[in-house]
Amino acid sequence: MENLLTNILFVLLPIFFQIFLINLNQKYKNIILTTVLSISIILCMSFPIGNFEGHLFDLRYVPFVLGGLYGGKKVAISLYFIIFIYRFFIGGAGFYIFMFDSTIVLLILLIFLIRRYQTYSLKTKCSGTMALVGFVAIFSLITCHTIFGFIFHAPILLLFSFVITQVLTMGFSVYFLEYLISIDRMKKQLYHNEKLKSISEMSASISHEIRNPLTVTRGFLQLLKNQNIDNEKKKTYLDLSLRELDRAESIITDYLTFAKPPVNVEMELLNVNDEVNYVVDVMQPFALMQSVSITKEVLINESYIFGNKEQFHQCMINLSKNAIEAMENGGELQFKVNKEGNKIIIQLTDTGVGMTPEQIARLGVPFFTNKEKGTGLGTMVAFRIVKVMKGEIKVNSKLNIGTTFTISIPEKVNKPAID
């Protein structure tokens, strides 16, 4: 019984190696598969279930068949010669019977099974391979008894174990290997789906970020159609439109270099009041289109923060646009700039639909959005930009009342000296 369990262990070891072999290059996979299965075969023959007057009873044919079916013709032929050489080295009366049996197995594999094996169902694979090794085991016993006339005098338990163990081990091995292969196939499919999902999400992200400056530019162009606008305002609107188009180009550049981010991002001291005024001017046309009024309350004098101007604009515009879109029936968006300790506080308060605590908790998570056609990327980008500026965002909201985004960023006390 001990040798029986040992033989089964020798057969199962290569199957566990299959987990590592399955993703290897086909060339190296076959070489390693041949090596591992050869070791399994040699171990089975070195520690047989029984040795009755020169006739070895072991499970060598199970790894042999597995190698042919899952490795192909080259692996099958290689294993055939390895078994042949090692069995010749061992010697004994059963060598010539082995030559005949193993040749039959090889021919069945090469002619009937290997080419069509992968087209069979799991049930057919298991039953077919079990029938093959069962037939070879019984045929080997009958041939030995016919030629030598004493094999059936061996212990019944040994003969029974020799046949049944091969059949059951073969069936289990095929089932387990197919299970591993199906798991690997699902993992590859999942990886493929994730890649497609990433492409889809990236496309949604780009369209979302580009839509903001284009929407603003469209609003200014609509205002320019008004014949009553003086030349000074026309020039202002054109300048703002061009700046927004430049921002759109900058966003596209950022996404194109996403895989290889720039080493140095230009950081500078930003005048908070000037930048907030710019954002208010940019968002005015879009707010008017949505029947939203924008108010501004600045409670501090000239103050500075450290960051990238384009990114800061993008952060504020994303949050402003979300706030305006939350007021479907019009409302008010208030900008408030204040200071607490050594931090600049910028508040955006809307009178929109508000959010639940659960929705607030998920803000900043990629692709979470409260809008039917949104992507959630605008808020995510805003959170990330504030974090890069070593600030933080807090959200306070009540359903059907409104939402307040409170951005706190460390103040830079001194304005840079002008050379």
Same domain, 281 and 153: no
- The helix/strand/coil state of 155 is coil
Inter-residue contact 75 to 38 (CB < 8 Å): no
Residue 241 lies inside a defined structural domain of this protein: no
Query: How confident is the model over 352-362, as pLDDT tens digits?
Result: 999 888 888 87
Higher pLDDT, 49 or 209: 49
Among 121-130, 163-172, 271-280, 410-419, whose mean pLDDT is lowest?
410-419
Residue 351 has pLDDT above 90, yes or no: yes
For residue 16, the domain's CATH number is 1.10.1760
- In the chain, % of residues over pLDDT 90: 33
Same domain, 55 and 142: yes
Residue 73 has pLDDT above 80, yes or no: yes
What is the C-alpha separation between 180 and 58, in angstroms, rounded? Answer: 26
C-alpha distances in angstroms, 161 versus 7, 37, 270? 11, 22, 84
Same domain, 186 and 282: no
What is the C-alpha separation between 303 and 104, in angstroms, rounded? Answer: 90
What is the C-alpha separation between 216 and 288, in angstroms, rounded? Answer: 11
| b/e sequence 369-381, b meaning 16+ C-beta within 10 Å | bbeeebbbbbbbb
Inter-residue contact 93 to 144 (CB < 8 Å): no
Same domain, 272 and 356: yes
Residue 335 lies inside a defined structural domain of this protein: yes
Other C-beta atoms lying within 10 Å of the C-beta of residue 73: 13
Last residue of a domain, one of 193, 221, 238: 193
Compute the C-alpha angle 402/403/409, nearest 5°: 155
Q: What pTM, to 2 d.p., does this model score?
A: 0.53
Residue 208 lies inside a defined structural domain of this protein: no
Inter-residue contact 347 to 332 (CB < 8 Å): no
- pLDDT of 198 reads 65
- pLDDT of 4 reads 78
Tokens, residue 404: 């307040």
Higher pLDDT, 183 or 209: 183
- The helix/strand/coil state of 116 is coil
Average pLDDT in the chain: 82
Query: How confident is the model over 312-326, as pLDDT tens digits?
Result: 998 899 899 989 988
Q: What is the pLDDT confidence band of residue 419, given thresholds at 50, 70 and 90?
A: very low
Ramachandran assignment for 364, one of left (phi > 0), alpha (psi -120 to 50 degrees), beta (any other): left
Same domain, 176 and 302: no
Residue 202 lies inside a defined structural domain of this protein: no
Same domain, 172 and 32: yes
Residue 251 lies inside a defined structural domain of this protein: no
Structural domain span for residue 90: 2-193
For residue 302, the domain's CATH number is 3.30.565.10
Q: What is the mean pLDDT of residues 217-234?
A: 81
- Total tally of structural domains belonging to the chain: 2
Tokens, residue 295: 């108010």
> 172: Cβ–Cβ under 8 A, 6 or more apart, which residues?
none
Last residue of a domain, one of 193, 226, 242: 193
Q: What is the pLDDT confidence band of residue 375, given thresholds at 50, 70 and 90?
A: very low
Phi/psi for 349 (5° steps) reads: -120, 125
Inter-residue contact 44 to 73 (CB < 8 Å): no
Residue 25 has pLDDT above 60, yes or no: no
Last residue of a domain, one of 193, 210, 225: 193
- The helix/strand/coil state of 308 is coil
- pLDDT of 132 reads 92
Inter-residue contact 301 to 412 (CB < 8 Å): no
Q: What is the pLDDT confidence band of residue 192, given thresholds at 50, 70 and 90?
A: confident
- pLDDT of 364 reads 59
- pLDDT of 208 reads 67
Residue 20 has pLDDT above 60, yes or no: no
Same domain, 165 and 307: no
Residue 24 has pLDDT above 90, yes or no: no
Same domain, 165 and 302: no
DSSP state of 302: S
Among 38-47, 104-113, 209-218, 341-350, whose mean pLDDT is lowest?
209-218
Residue 24 lies inside a defined structural domain of this protein: yes
Same domain, 275 and 189: no
HSE-CB for 134 with a 13 A CA cutoff: 13
Residue 249 lies inside a defined structural domain of this protein: no
- pLDDT of 30 reads 81
Same domain, 150 and 281: no
Q: What is the pLDDT confidence band of residue 372, given thresholds at 50, 70 and 90?
A: very low
Beta bridge partners of 125: none
Beta bridge partners of 411: 305
Other C-beta atoms lying within 10 Å of the C-beta of residue 191: 10
Phi/psi for 264 (5° steps) reads: -115, 120
Same domain, 182 and 319: no
What is the C-alpha separation between 408 and 342, in angstroms, rounded? Answer: 10
Same domain, 153 and 298: no
Residue 334 lies inside a defined structural domain of this protein: yes
Inter-residue contact 18 to 180 (CB < 8 Å): yes
Residue 371 has pLDDT above 60, yes or no: no
Q: What is the mean pLDDT of residues 385-403?
A: 91
Q: How far is CA 157 from the centre of its chain?
A: 52
* Long-range contacts from 49-52, C-beta under 8 angstroms, 24+ separation: 49/3, 49/4, 49/7, 49/158, 49/161, 49/162, 49/165, 50/3, 50/154, 50/155, 50/158, 50/161, 50/162, 51/92, 52/151, 52/154, 52/155, 52/158
Q: What is the pLDDT confidence band of residue 1, given thresholds at 50, 70 and 90?
A: low
